[in-house]
Structure 1
Amino acid sequence: MIFKLENSVNLRVDLSSNLNVELFVKREDAIHSIISGNKYRKLKYNIEAARKEGKDTLLTFGGAFSNHIAAVAEVGRIYNFKTIGIIRGEELISKINDNSTLKYAQDCGMQFKFISRTDFRNKEDLNFVERLRNEFGDFYNIPEGGTNTLAVKGCEEILTEADSRFDYICAPVGTGGTLSGLINSSKSNQQVLGFSALKGDFLQEDISKFAKQDNWKLITNYHFGGYAKINNELVTFINEFKALNNIRLDPIYTGKMLFGIKDMISNNYFPKGSKILVIHTGGLQGIAGMNNRLKQKNSPLIQ
């Protein structure tokens, strides 16, 4: 994939007045405006596999503001794949033009199938996938969020030898693929912290399927009520972080993670002298859609 950065840039950032720790952000979001961060990493080897198998169509799954849906659509546009998005929520069929993520994916050529949330839970069922093949023909199946063995392999390439100097590696968690890759490529003396964007601790099992070390912990205190749930406090934090460091954070993943890290620093979670590396996994395309929701509530917008 032509826009790969051989080495993501690590930038030191300010998060609080606590001078007992050092905090750096690995700018994986700088890889590409849409196929950014972990989406590039997850798709890299899946695209290679699709080509080797002679597939010309990519089918995947996602929700209304899915970074993954936008990234797969962009991959299809750039690399001449047909793309099909199985979208959670039948009500969205009439709201494409009001949804920046779906509109972008459609403009890239993605074909949609909108299904109920109940049917969406069957996305990994073999009979359900076979019915999709009968409807759409042969395709390369990429799971929701892109997480599979090949995705984890790609995410293992996020860390480099230069990152071995950090004591903590932090990343947001949606499906667990990115964190699993980071765990596998981390040093045994490093602690990998995953900040869940979803309510509950069920991701423990998903991460354990791929993780080859036990030097990790799932942090579940900073989901702000669940996936894509936010409040004014989080928006204020994201805007203040951008003003201080000139780095945009998305409200679903990286914003919640860094809010959590700041809180943990304030509560002395990290030992004095700790060096912390935060993985910016991209997802900035989702800001426009979230701001549309915030406008409807007359709430402050993400800058």
Structure 2
Amino acid sequence: MEELLDPGLGRVRLFLMQDDNKPRKLRYNLGHSRLLTFGGAYSNHIRAVAEAGRRHGIETIGVIRGEEHLPLNPSLAHAKACGMTLTYLDRASYRLKHTEGVLAALRARWGDDVAILPEGGSNAAAVRGCAELPGEISAEYDVICCPVGTGGTLAGISAGLPEGKRAIGFAVLKGAGFLAGEVARLQREAYGRTWANWELNLDYHFGGYAKSTPALDAFIRKYRVEGIYVAKMLYGILDLARQGAFPDGTRIVAVITGQPSTPVSA
């Protein structure tokens, strides 16, 4: 882990842990011969499932939001090159992808034996994979922070925390209060119980998913970090530290999700 040094942190210490959560979410979801999942045209989840399918000899089907556009963008072209079959749902139907009617239609088309993985990969198996993350941290810490898109990573981290530690998730969606219920639901599905050692921060979405502001853009340039998830979390941690939200001496581990990136110290 690398420590991020910034005068705004005061006596709070912030450590960066690079961890691609996609393989964690997939680890216990790969025991199937055919796997179907959902995502947008630039979805990292679609890419990760396609790559996993190629490695493990699993047939994969990607249900993409919206209409087909040719030529395929680099993300979808890579997924197809990995052997994934791409199909499309119009946006109205895609919003109903979790309903029994849409799921029944997909099973009728692709077979009752197909395993259906939700968008973002967050289900009970994904939670169990993410719960292994805290046990891999050898340094002393008090708080683990992570970005939150669908809630699976936060649900797992919380479940895997040692006694006395806590987790903070930074939502990247606008109006994401519903994710608190999702985190609790995922924990119940995975373990039959919930934990009270986590919280969901809704204040640093910067307008919504993939949205930004001049302040966030400047932050991304300064720290050279991914903008949709990681930058919002780091901005939130630094801002809360400046406000005195963390007691002096607090040791925070920020989980840098996705592909490797190297934030630079201020």
Give the structure-2-normalised TM-score. Answer: 0.88
The CA deviation at 1:191 is 2.1
Match in the other structure for 1:119: 93
Indicate the percent of aligned positions where both proteins have the same amino acid.
42
Tell me, yes or no, if structure 1 residue 188 matches structure 2 residue 163. yes
Query: Which ranges in structure 2 are unaligned for 5 or more consecutive residues?
Result: 188-193, 262-266
Question: What are the equivalent positions in structure 2 for 1:4-153 lying under 5 Å apart?
Answer: 10-28=1-19, 37-47=20-30, 49-50=31-32, 55=33, 57-90=34-67, 93-97=68-72, 99-137=73-111, 138-153=113-128
- Would you say how many aligned residue pairs link Structure 1 and Structure 2? 253
Give the structure-1-normalised TM-score. Answer: 0.78
Deviations 1:71-123 (A, max 9, x none): 00111122222211111122xx11553x3322221222222221122211222
The CA deviation at 1:18 is 3.1
Alpha-carbon distance change, 163 to 199 in structure 1, aligned in 2, over 3 angstroms: farther
Alpha-carbon distance change, 122 to 63 in structure 1, aligned in 2, over 3 angstroms: same
Counterpart of 2:198 (choices 206, 216, 219) is 216
Counterpart of 2:129 (choices 154, 159, 184) is 154
**Contact persistence 1:238–1:251 (CA under 8 A):** yes
Amino acid across the alignment from 1:140: A
Tell me, yes or no, if structure 1 residue 275 matches structure 2 residue 251. yes
Amino acid across the alignment from 2:252: I
Distance in 2 separating the partners of 1:21 and 1:257: 16
The CA deviation at 1:164 is 7.4
Amino acid across the alignment from 1:106: K
* Greater relative contact order (CA < 8 Å, ≥ 6 in sequence): 2
**Contact persistence 1:188–1:213 (CA under 8 A):** no
Deviations 1:41-92 (A, max 9, x none): 0000111x32xxxx2x2110011221111100111122222211111122xx
